[in-house]
């Protein structure tokens, strides 16, 4: 007997939060198994771009704790 995608989804949703997060991460990683480093190059370019925006004053950085507090307030926690 074969298992359906809907059955897999039901079983996955019954997992604890951390297990679902791990499963989601593994599934996303499986979608684009590029080994040529393209994704890493794109992220490196984005990181450099963001760094340059901060250094030039185009973007103002805020402390991580303040950013998290803003996110928590915006989602009502």
In whole angstroms, give the CA distance from residue 11 to residue 15: 7
Task: Tell me the mean pLDDT in the region 57-67.
Answer: 93
Question: If pLDDT is split at 50, 70 and 90, which confidence band does 23 have?
Answer: very high
Question: If pLDDT is split at 50, 70 and 90, which confidence band does 51 have?
Answer: very high
Q: What is the CA radius of gyration of the chain?
A: 19
In whole angstroms, give the CA distance from residue 35 to residue 10: 32
Domain regions of the chain by residue span: 1-33, 34-77
Angle between helices 17-31 and 5-13 (to 10 degrees): 140
What is the pTM assigned to this prediction? 0.46
Question: If pLDDT is split at 50, 70 and 90, which confidence band does 13 have?
Answer: very high
């Amino acid at each position: 007997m074969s298992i359906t995608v809907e059955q897999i989804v039901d079983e996955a949703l019954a997992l604890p939060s951390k297990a679902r997060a791990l499963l989601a991460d593994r599934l996303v990683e499986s979608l684009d198994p590029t080994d040529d480093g393209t994704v890493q190059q794109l992220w490196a370019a984005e990181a450099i771009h963001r760094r340059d925006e901060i250094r030039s004053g185009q973007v103002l950085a805020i402390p991580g704790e303040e950013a998290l507090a803003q996110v928590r307030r915006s989602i009502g926690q």
